[in-house]
Structure 1
Amino acid sequence: MGRKKVIKDPQEELEAESKLLIDEATNLMKLHNYTKALSIYQKALELNPSDQNALVARSKCYLLLGDPSKGLQDAETALTNDKNNIRAIYQKAEALYFLGQFELSLMFFHRGLRLRPELNSFRLGVQKTQEAIEKTIGGFERQKKPSSSKSSSRKKSMPTIPEESRPKTGIKTANKVSLEKREARKLLGELCVDKEYLESLLKNPDLKRADTGTEQVSNLVNDAVRFLNSRQEFWRQQRPCNALPKHKKIDMKWNN
């Protein structure tokens, strides 16, 4: 008897091909080749338009390319199929943040935090969005507050302070920088030395010479500094400045 011919499901073949394309695009994202990755994500979605992994990944790609509006559309499309898709919730919150819709962004960061409280990404998202809202409200109130004639006349009548009695701005700035460095050392511990080195490296004019076509050293340094800043801010919010973090590693990256 001859062998039975195995008939493959066309839908399964499309899903398998789509997955291969997504994997290829994900590797390109790691190499910071976002434009090429975007075109491959689009091919994957042409084969399987309802693929949530591809939608979420393309949403992230759009954000990295500076197009949060399209990133928001992909995240919302993924959420129509699964309203608890945690990665889609995060992408929607991020897209809203970059669009300046801080109140809505805060709502989705809180929603993700309720679903997955162990993920530091949502906690940091809540913090940065709250800070953005506070700055926006503060700036609006300063613009709205009128300058009264009483205060202006009071300023005119105030005696002139001798220059030697005026506070030294340079000294204040130096003290502020010193305090910030001291706080960073308490929060980051030994990693503070790495952060200071990387920040000084970014100011080095010869850094661009180290960049090649396949590996952008400046991009890697920037990524490392951003991670250390995020870690420092996290520990500042979580514990007093006199307490050093005990955890060695905080996972801040999403795997597509």
Structure 2
Amino acid sequence: MILLRSPSCLLQGLYQKAEALYTMGNFEFALVYYHRGNKLRPELQEFRLGIQKAQEAIDNSVGSPSSVKLENKGDLSFFHKSDGVRPKDLNHSHKRESKKHGRKIDKSEKTAKELLGELYSDREYLEKLLQDEDLVKGKIRTGERVQDLIVSCISYLDTRTAFWQQQKPIYARQRDRKLMQQQWNRALHKPPSDPTRYVLNSLEEIDTALSAGNTESGLKKARELMKAVKEWSEGVLPNKREVLGNLHSCIGNALMDLGNMEKSLHHHEKDLELAKKGDLMDSKSRALDNIGRVYARIGKFQQAIEVWEEKLPLACGGLEKAWLFHEIGRCYLELKRYREARDYGSRSLMAADDISDEKWQLNASVLMAQAELTMNNQISHIIQNQ
């Protein structure tokens, strides 16, 4: 008794009792003891926080007075004794109440599902067990009936649901989730400490994934990086336009590998547009190269020729020229314009000779031979017909 009468023990006892009452769901009594402790020691933060959380729990349970709005709906016959209540009106009122009650049940089930989470499936399982008449008649080793055990489990889950609903209702949980999502989005859009290094490392990862044949993975990373870069200003990333063009190129190539030519062409055209705006010659050359490849893949050989011929002045190095002349020649061959195909094959061979590249020397020679052979066959056919 002496210990209990000491001030420190008394305060500790008040606080522990208030906490216990709060945990049991007796928020009103908990609030009383929080107030008692706060009155004795107003400088202690524990009692102030206790008052706040108990008051919030009570408001969550019964609602604050400001949220209650009275309406003149329902059966008001008690207040108008002179007006008789007809059976028809009672039936309509009963139907309305039944419908309203039905909606409440549906809503409460949905609420229970959100509050219980994974435990909700256990509750459903217990309810199914109750429908098994043979099972519920049985008893366990201690002599307790299975039905009583199942009912007590369901009752416990319902009690927990009610308690969690009082402590933090669904709307509060949804609000918290929304706030967390907003914080996550802000963190996602916040640029790293060294944006340039981050972008370079990410582009390297994307190139590695695409080169290794992991097209889906590379495409996903490229799209995520593009989304982040678009949120940054040019002050954060000075070469933002160049980076976006590079990402459009990566995405376009990935989509081309996946067979989505229409979207691939769209991204390569975006790359070309950014290159022209920024006067980026290397990016422009890359974009024209890729656009031509898309056109050639879908059989639009004339468009491919026009794009690649625009790229010719930007081509640098013998290997690129040998490849470009060869591809233009192949398009002319597909269009049955054999003289132009032979001429571009010859130009490809000259470029390959300059760098002593045997592979492209062979490719160019084959192209020239195909064009020459077809031309000779046509000439022979014309002579025979004459």
**TM-score, normalization by structure 2:** 0.33
Structure showing the higher helix proportion among its residues: 2
Q: Which has the higher contact order (CA 8 A, sep 6+)?
A: 1
**TM-score, normalization by structure 1:** 0.48
Larger radius of gyration: 2
